[in-house]
Structure 1
Amino acid sequence: MPRFHCSIPLQSGVALALPDAAARHVQVLRLQPGDALTLFDGQGGEYAATVTRMGRGDVQVQVGAHVAVEREAARAVHLVVGMPANERMDWLVEKATELGAASIQPVAAARSVLRLAGERADKRQARWQAVAVAACEQCGRNRVPVVHAPLSLADWLAALPAAPGDGLGARLLLSLRAGSRPLAQAAGAALAVHVLHGPEGGLTVQEEDAALARGFAPVSLGPRVLRAETASVAALACLAL
């Protein structure tokens, strides 16, 4: 059954017009009055619904029963990623969403090829958030991970709160430096994890040192050097599946 994210709050028994993005998707699929679909608004669970009207520019639905189903990972994994160039960030956001990322923070580091600011940054953030929504529709997630506005790595680290000391969180830095522990071992039983890694070319020694000073521990995914987007997928597969 087709699934659609609804950007307005849902309630059983209510008739409503779908938001533009969802309505366009329904129209592309050529659904007709009487066809069933599933809606979710990101607040938890999903709703059965039925198309009641297909207009030229709008789609009306009747919202049915709420199903309190969740498909989130047991551990909240927050990715902090040095933005890869070209369309690789789109791919990273899509796959990270499918694998259960709780949030994604794009950062620009010293070796970053992609650098964003102003209106260009706003447009990319909106695009990446839309990619996350589409991935949720496909994979069955009912909570959409937030794709935060791009920041410089220095600014993001400076705004980071003090490292948690309650055993419920971990800060892990993907690193090739000697003494890095295996990722899963370092994460232990932490219920929330921030995973930081660099762009193409990795982070500089100075950037890694700055992260370590903010409570990050160096960890490894093994002896091979992975692409930036592959590192995110591998870390999530290890921590969230």
Structure 2
Amino acid sequence: MRIPRCYEPQPLVPGDNLLLGDGNVQHLARTLRMRPGDKVLLFNGDGREYDAVLVEVEKRRVLAQIDDARESGREPVLPVHIGQCLSRGERMDYAVQKATEMGMMQMTPLFSERCEVRLNSERQDKRVRHWQQVAISACEQSLRCSVPEIAEPAPLQDWVRTVDADLKLVLHHHSAVPLGTLPRPDSVALLIGPEGGLSETEVEMAVAAGFQPVRFGPRVLRTETAPVAAQAILQYLWGDLGNA
């Protein structure tokens, strides 16, 4: 049986016994029906992975003993902050999930001119919590030990003016700048448009804020596909893809 891997957002100290959170109790005790003596892998977002053994397993309580800690060696070497214009339903979930698997460090959902998603404060908080959980689940699956931050949604014009990165890119299919000719950056901010695309005004605004228009091939990508394809190229050129 494959050893389960769980996110546990509390301090993990080798040698300590730890009561796991309700989500992991549900997963380990009720779904997997694990028993005392079974092994699990835990991580809390600090970049390390922890071996643990279950000491007590009850329906509403799971106690684990933390054994060894180790650096994962799987954290991305190129930090990428994605400004992702909001899309509907599963498209946004897909973008968060796959961007996390590809090594994204942070995502800020953006409101833009052609964005059709409108969120009140209560619904916005709920969606951010949901997207953060999608990112956590993607970390569990992809063996990452750091969890990307899903920030509060922001207006596009605010994000392009305030985001900090060594290289700022806006996907714009009219541009023909070869990405490989740009100098190697220490960090990247990547602006992804909505389903209807960015307006010319928004592209000009991004360029005025220091963004370099680029495209990743001759075809126009959907809003949920673009961050995945873009990160694959960025991580291959300047990150850790292809270096294993």
Task: Tell me if TM exceeds 0.5.
Answer: yes
- The equivalent of 2:181 in structure 1 is 185
Three-state SS of the structure 2 residue aligned to 1:89 is helix
Structure 2: state its 5+ residue gaps. 236-240
- The equivalent of 2:170 in structure 1 is 173
Q: Alpha carbons of 1:160 and 1:73: their partners in 2 closer, same or farther (altered >3 Å)?
A: closer
Three-state SS of the structure 2 residue aligned to 1:73 is coil
Structure 1: state its 5+ residue gaps. none
State the alpha-carbon separation in 2 of the partners of residues 185 and 176 from structure 1. 17
- The equivalent of 1:2 in structure 2 is 4
Give how far 1:174 is off: 0.4
Give how far 1:87 is off: 1.1
Three-state SS of the structure 2 residue aligned to 1:229 is coil
**Identity in percent:** 41
**Residues 182 and 222 of structure 1 are in contact (CA less than 8 Å); yes or no, is this contact kept in structure 2?**
no
**Residues 17 and 65 of structure 2 are in contact (CA less than 8 Å); yes or no, is this contact kept in structure 1?**
yes
Give how far 1:102 is off: 1.0
- The equivalent of 2:18 in structure 1 is 16
Give how far 1:149 is off: 1.0
**Residues 82 and 109 of structure 1 are in contact (CA less than 8 Å); yes or no, is this contact kept in structure 2?**
yes
State the alpha-carbon separation in 1 of the partners of residues 141 and 40 from structure 2. 13
Give how far 1:185 is off: 3.4
Give how far 1:44 is off: 1.7
- The equivalent of 1:91 in structure 2 is 94
Please show how residues 16-165 of structure 1 align to structure 2 within 5 Å.
16-27=18-29, 28-160=31-163
RMSD, aligned α-carbons: 1.4
- The equivalent of 2:211 in structure 1 is 216
Give how far 1:83 is off: 1.5
**Residues 10 and 44 of structure 2 are in contact (CA less than 8 Å); yes or no, is this contact kept in structure 1?**
yes
State the alpha-carbon separation in 1 of the partners of residues 170 and 160 from structure 2. 12
**Residues 47 and 66 of structure 1 are in contact (CA less than 8 Å); yes or no, is this contact kept in structure 2?**
yes
Scaled by the length of structure 1, the TM-score of the pair is 0.92
Give how far 1:170 is off: 0.2
- The equivalent of 1:234 in structure 2 is 229
Scaled by the length of structure 2, the TM-score of the pair is 0.91
State the alpha-carbon separation in 1 of the partners of residues 181 and 63 from structure 2. 50
Give how far 1:115 is off: 2.3
Q: Alpha carbons of 1:232 and 1:160: their partners in 2 closer, same or farther (altered >3 Å)?
A: closer
Q: 1:98-136, CA deviations, whole angstroms, 9 ceiling, x for partnerless residues?
A: 111111111011111222230111000000000111111
Q: 1:186-233, CA deviations, whole angstroms, 9 ceiling, x for partnerless residues?
A: 3x3112101101010111011111111111010011111110111111
Three-state SS of the structure 2 residue aligned to 1:235 is helix
User: How many equivalent residue pairs?
Assistant: 233
